[in-house]
Amino acid sequence: MSALTKIKKGTFQHIESELFAYHETRKEIVRLKNEILYGKPHFENIGGGRSNLPGDPTARTATLLTTHRELESLERIATSIESVYEALPEDKKRMIQLKYWSKPQTRTWDGIALEMSTHRATLIRWRNEIVRTIAMKMGWR
């Protein structure tokens, strides 16, 4: 592993947790967008001065969709995972599905290796490469 692709242990663990939570992240993105589009945002200006958001409801919604920090962060994580996943060959996609996206998660690396007819060390190497690629895509180290 070269110095350019080395990432911190905490970053590695964080990206792995994001892989496990990918489908929940997609659901949260949809929920936040629906809240902005159809619900009353919880950050309305109550009793204060004038709002800095446009008076036009369409412009206000567009502004909220593009400036919502949590939504922006979740979308960045999800699109990074998606773009890396889509570029993977089928065997690595299957490994991601078995390890991170199968519910309930009962498989060990050894069990996945047996199911995929490959070695555990190969799967770990693939995982490390995938996590590092996602980290680089997101600009994390």
Q: How many residues does the chain have?
A: 141
Q: Name the CA dihedral angle for 113, 92, 99, 70, rounded to a multiple of 10 degrees.
A: 160
Q: Which residues of the chain have pLDDT under 70?
A: 1-5, 40-68
C-alpha closest to that of 109 among 100, 119, 120, 118: 120
CB 65 within 8 A of CB 36: yes
Distance CA 8, CA 126 (A): 18
pTM, 2 dp: 0.76
Query: What is the tens place of the pLDDT at every residue in 18-58?
Result: 999 999 999 999 988 888 777 755 555 555 555 555 555 66
